[in-house]
A and B are shown apart, each in its own frame.
Chain A
Amino acid sequence: MTVSTDQHNEAKRDVTFKVFRFNPQVDSKPYFDDYKIPVERGVTVLRALNYIKEHVDASVSFRAFCQAGICGSCGMRVNGISMLACTSQVWEVLAKSKEEGVIKVEPLRNLPLIKDLIVDMDPLVDKMKHYSNWVDSSMPEAEMGKKEFLVSEEEFLKYDKATDCILCASCVSECSILRANKEYVSPAVLLKSYRMNVDTRDSIHDLRLAELVKDHGVWDCTHCYRCQESCVKSIPIMDAIHGIREDALESRGMKDTSGAKHAEAFMSDIEKKGKLVEATLPFRTNGVLWTMQNLLPMAVKMILKRRTPPPPPMVKPSKGIKEFRGEFREMSEHVKQDHKSHKK
């Protein structure tokens, strides 16, 4: 499936689009089709796909709507990275291609595949519902429309950036936790949950937070930062995730859930020794019973392979621990002060 280009114009380049194909009606497994087309500077990946659909193969299927980077329809993986096709320049993508002159286009990951580059967004919508991703106004419905809430610049700035999210699901596609656990809340939903929880007009902060600290919730994130790196709107998603965690520790306490206990164990180890005492970490996070029931077989395997962490007495404090403890306490004090001033 090659479109020949008779004259080779300097302002144009021949680009091969390696497009992921799968039609559940006829295909037992996905494959790639190659489309070689001439592309000039300034053309976006979406315009190139439109060209292929109109001139080469009408059956190539993808979503597109506004074509201006605001509706979020055309999220897909271009050369392995999730992005919006409509705001990605072919020549710029090409400059980073591993295979010269080739651009690989695949559907978003971590969502069920429907056809070609189209994935099912319903699981994301279901999670938005599950985590109450809406403002539940503190104003009674009968009073609405009569007066405004007064919102200060400071309050507004807390959620301003988060409201840029267009639910394109690039972060969902890049999330390393979702790859292992499809039930995980997902970065976009954490971002939206955060945005709702810091909104002073909302009235169900505690309820939402209670859901977020449960299994598959906010504590499952491993800080890989892939969501933030791939966000098409440059939203600091990790700030939102950290924000929810700090909020959870503050309003629900350090003994709340295994996630909070895990964080507390980290803090206490670092303060005491300057490093982790890994052997006892599972006990302190999930309790003795849970650990014995769930991690014993793995522990046995680790012993057999001689990969066990050293027992607690063997973990010696790091060099310069006294000096470090001073700095650590000072830092903790700063964080506390910050939280207090935020609350005002």
Chain B
Amino acid sequence: MKPFDIVIVGGGGAGLYAAMEAMKTNPALNIAVLSKVYPNRSHTSAAQGGANAALANKAKDDTVEMHIFDTIKGSDYLADQDAVEVLCSEAPKIIRELENIGTPWSRLEDNTIAQRPFGGAGRPRCCYCADKTGHTILQTLYEQCLKKGVIFFNEYFALNLSVNGSRSKGLIAMNMKTGAVEAFPARTVIFATGGYAKMYWNRSSNAAGNTGDGQAIAYRAGIPLKDMEFVQFHPTGLRKSGLLVTEGARGEGGYLLNKDGERFMARYAPEKMELGPRDLVSRSLETEILQGRGFDSPAGKYIHLDLTHLGADLIKSRLPQIREMAMNFEGVDPILEPIPVRPTAHYSMGGIDTDNYGRTVMEGVYAAGESACVSVHGANRLGGNSLLDILVFGRIAGHTAALEARKFEPSAISEDEVKDQLAELRSSMQPSGHYERYGELREELGQTMALNVGIYREASLLKKGIAEVLELKERFKKVRVADSSDVFNTNLLQVLELKNMLDLAETVAAGALAREESRGSHTRTDFPTRDDEKWHKHTMSTLVDGNVKLGEKPVTMGRYELQERTY
């Protein structure tokens, strides 16, 4: 195959924006997007609430500077402040650009883009399209990529980078439709593969495929991951499935109630109440449940998210998807009854370490969106900043790769390398002797992560978690792919995804054990306070001899000094 200038792995918001921007930057480049699902299926579609930008349409006194401050404070001062500046100052422009190319934003009375309040934000700056914001953004970007003639390799699963010393030669991937392993020689590769929170499985709001594929591939190629221990738990997952009820439900005025009918957030965030930042609200829910003030049911303990006082009209017009989901998955109509919720693993702050241009330490390899860690979210991401992140840094990565691609000489990927990959897949499909079942391993991984590396963490639990993950990695070597067909082997796909989750789970648990402090989403009961002296730094995870080796990297300051974080 003729070498590509850019191969983008992942067709969600970050990947599609990167593709669109790269084509705009240099239309002569040979660009491909490779995705394990049709791009319009990507998990960007599940983002409900919106994207933050200081447009000042709703609150006329909102400024980019206030957005920067809210984001840095929300991150518990672990975000790199120069990166946050890029994120927030690019925000108004990129939201308008999306508007200009057809995103159907909801509107205010003066016909400008609508904005609403969101957790941890000083002003109502979250731009939205009802509660289907991510879906409509993804559709818009996909449509525009079709318009521009972007080449898509849909339903291709990325296996590994092909590396020559410190340089990437391109990517090796499996065509799901045929089972063939194919080489994609490329001057540059951009990872935009989304998050890894699905390792918590049933206690996760994520799609089945949010298995951190790009992060795992980069990690195996020797590229460091950053701040992997920071996993955001969203306060309001549906009790039974972990599926998400958007923060927009609280932004529109929803209450969180314990079994005594009390708006308990008054105890934890008296000013912001239900609109405190996510880590704080999640811990508050968990504390209420742990102290016996939650509701009980065969499907687990839970808290009430009450929207009944908002009225049928508002719920139908602003939160239609939430109503549909509550009815489908809990059998509850939020117009009439409160929704049963509990915290659910939702977002990965950690990811592939990049600079502000999306570059990784490996020449020609870039990352953007949830798969990357720039870092703009630090220890805790604010609601409405993840869609913004994928747009802003997707575009920057696409632009940078387009400018730099031709600097790199393309190199071929040998037939042997491709054959080796295929042989590896084949061997896992022909088990002999004792074997392990995929479903069991995955179930156990989810359990151990939720129990030992969950919202509240402590040394003994984390050690147990690490030991169990390592044991699962051992057992995985004997896992069996029970489906032997070449065509669309979804069983093989599941097994490959589990491998990625196992590799990353070790970095999450190890980072969590090492970090002896509480910061943002990472809460150690044995180290309950933030320790800036020892831990105001990023955690770096590198793969050395098959296991994780931890290192560190300083946080870029420059705008705001460390302060205590209260709401």
From B35-43, B288-296, B355-363, B525-533, give the one contacting chain A.
Answer: B35-43
How distant is A209 from chain B, measured CB to nearest CB, in Å? Answer: 17
B104 with A67: CB separation less than 8 A: no
A-B contact pairs, 30 of them (CB 8 A): A42-B240, A58-B491, A59-B484, A59-B491, A61-B483, A61-B490, A63-B37, A63-B490, A65-B37, A68-B243, A68-B244, A70-B135, A71-B207, A73-B37, A121-B154, A128-B143, A132-B147, A134-B102, A135-B140, A137-B101, A145-B96, A148-B99, A148-B100, A148-B112, A151-B107, A156-B106, A156-B107, A163-B104, A167-B40, A202-B102
Residue total for B at the interface (Cβ-Cβ under 8 A): 64
How distant is A147 from chain B, measured CB to nearest CB, in Å? Answer: 7
- Taking the complex as formed, is A329 at the interface, i.e. its CB lies under 8 A from any CB of chain B? no
A65 with B106: CB separation less than 8 A: no
B243 with A148: CB separation less than 8 A: no
A23 with B143: CB separation less than 8 A: no
- Taking the complex as formed, is A164 at the interface, i.e. its CB lies under 8 A from any CB of chain B? yes
Q: A53, A67, A115, A129: which contacts B207 (Cβ < 8 A)?
A: A67
B38 with A42: CB separation less than 8 A: no
From B251-259, B320-328, B396-404, give the one contacting chain A.
Answer: B320-328
Q: A69, A115, A146: which contacts B96 (Cβ < 8 A)?
A: A146
- Taking the complex as formed, is B336 at the interface, i.e. its CB lies under 8 A from any CB of chain A? no
- What chain B residues lie within 8 Å of A199 (beta carbons)? 102, 104
Interface size class of A (residues with CB under 8 A): 35 or more
Q: B97, B207, B488: which contacts A65 (Cβ < 8 A)?
A: B207
Within 8 A of A (CB), among B482-499: 482-491
Complex interface bits, A149-181 against B, C-beta within 8 A gives 1, otherwise 0: 111110010011001111100000000000000
A-B contact count (CB 8 A): 168
CA distance A121 to B143 in the complex (A): 15
A25 with B96: CB separation less than 8 A: no
- Taking the complex as formed, is B14 at the interface, i.e. its CB lies under 8 A from any CB of chain A? no
A201 with B94: CB separation less than 8 A: no
- What chain A residues lie within 8 Å of B112 (beta carbons)? 148, 150
- What chain A residues lie within 8 Å of B209 (beta carbons)? 65
- Taking the complex as formed, is A87 at the interface, i.e. its CB lies under 8 A from any CB of chain B? yes
Which of B24, B41, B147, B438 has the most A CB atoms < 10 Å from its CB? B41
Which of A23, A116, A147 has the most B CB atoms < 10 Å from its CB? A23
- What chain B residues lie within 8 Å of A23 (beta carbons)? 485, 487
How distant is A284 from chain B, measured CB to nearest CB, in Å? Answer: 38
CA distance A64 to B36 in the complex (A): 12
CA distance A139 to B46 in the complex (A): 29
How distant is B346 from chain A, measured CB to nearest CB, in Å? Answer: 13
How distant is A207 from chain B, measured CB to nearest CB, in Å? Answer: 13
How distant is A11 from chain B, measured CB to nearest CB, in Å? Answer: 10
A144 with B97: CB separation less than 8 A: yes
Q: B43, B100, B207, B328: which contacts A145 (Cβ < 8 A)?
A: B100
Within 8 A of B (CB), among A9-57: 23-26, 42, 44, 53-55
- Taking the complex as formed, is A141 at the interface, i.e. its CB lies under 8 A from any CB of chain B? yes
- What chain B residues lie within 8 Å of A66 (beta carbons)? 41, 43, 45-46, 207-208
Within 8 A of A (CB), among B279-336: 321, 324-325, 328-329, 331
- Taking the complex as formed, is A114 at the interface, i.e. its CB lies under 8 A from any CB of chain B? yes
B325 with A145: CB separation less than 8 A: no
- Taking the complex as formed, is A62 at the interface, i.e. its CB lies under 8 A from any CB of chain B? yes
B146 with A141: CB separation less than 8 A: no
Minimal Cβ-Cβ distance residue in A for B111: A150
The 10 closest A-B pairs by CB, nearest first: A135-B102, A58-B482, A134-B143, A54-B439, A150-B111, A145-B97, A59-B483, A145-B93, A134-B147, A66-B207
Minimal Cβ-Cβ distance residue in B for A67: B208
- Taking the complex as formed, is A118 at the interface, i.e. its CB lies under 8 A from any CB of chain B? yes
- Taking the complex as formed, is B177 at the interface, i.e. its CB lies under 8 A from any CB of chain A? yes
CA distance A68 to B244 in the complex (A): 9
Complex interface bits, B97-121 against A, C-beta within 8 A gives 1, otherwise 0: 1011110111100111100000000
B485 with A115: CB separation less than 8 A: yes
How distant is B225 from chain A, measured CB to nearest CB, in Å? Answer: 24
B488 with A201: CB separation less than 8 A: no
How distant is A315 from chain B, measured CB to nearest CB, in Å? Answer: 48
How distant is B380 from chain A, measured CB to nearest CB, in Å? Answer: 24
- Taking the complex as formed, is A230 at the interface, i.e. its CB lies under 8 A from any CB of chain B? no
CA distance A121 to B41 in the complex (A): 12
- What chain B residues lie within 8 Å of A69 (beta carbons)? 324-325, 328
- What chain A residues lie within 8 Å of B102 (beta carbons)? 134-135, 137, 196, 199, 201-202
- What chain A residues lie within 8 Å of B240 (beta carbons)? 42
- What chain B residues lie within 8 Å of A166 (beta carbons)? 40, 45, 135
CA distance A68 to B328 in the complex (A): 9
**12 new A-B pairs (CB below 8 Å) besides A66-B41, A156-B106?**
A63-B37, A70-B132, A87-B324, A135-B143, A143-B100, A145-B96, A147-B96, A148-B113, A163-B104, A163-B139, A166-B45, A167-B40
- Taking the complex as formed, is A256 at the interface, i.e. its CB lies under 8 A from any CB of chain B? no
- What chain A residues lie within 8 Å of B104 (beta carbons)? 156, 159-160, 163, 199
